[in-house]
Amino acid sequence: MVITCFFTETLALQAEIIKRLQREKFVDMIKHMDGHEQIDRLVALYTSSAKVFHLSELPVRVKK
């Protein structure tokens, strides 16, 4: 039947769109986690050797 075929194609298309969005968001999430790990390392370095380093001397890039 035409309606069943259209419904099946629509569901398949929606499933593909959801899979693609999940893959994209997973990559974005990993990038953010890496950024958080870098910040954690910098903070740990600063707090563990606060007498030696000043925060302004640490290599920190600011995104605008």
SS3 state at 59: coil
In this predicted structure, the answer to whether residue 62 has a pLDDT above a threshold of 80 is no
Full-model pTM: 0.47
**Domain tally for the chain?**
1
Reported as a pLDDT band with limits 50, 70 and 90, residue 2 is: low
CA separation for the pair 4, 1 (Å, rounded): 5
Which tokens hold the place of 12?
Answer: 């398949």
Query: What domain range includes position 6?
Result: 2-57
Establish if 30 belongs to a structural domain. yes
Q: Is residue 64 part of a domain?
A: no
- The reply to whether 6 falls in a domain is yes
**CA 46 to each of CA 19, 40, 42, 59: distance values in angstroms, whole numbers, following the listed order:** 41, 10, 6, 11
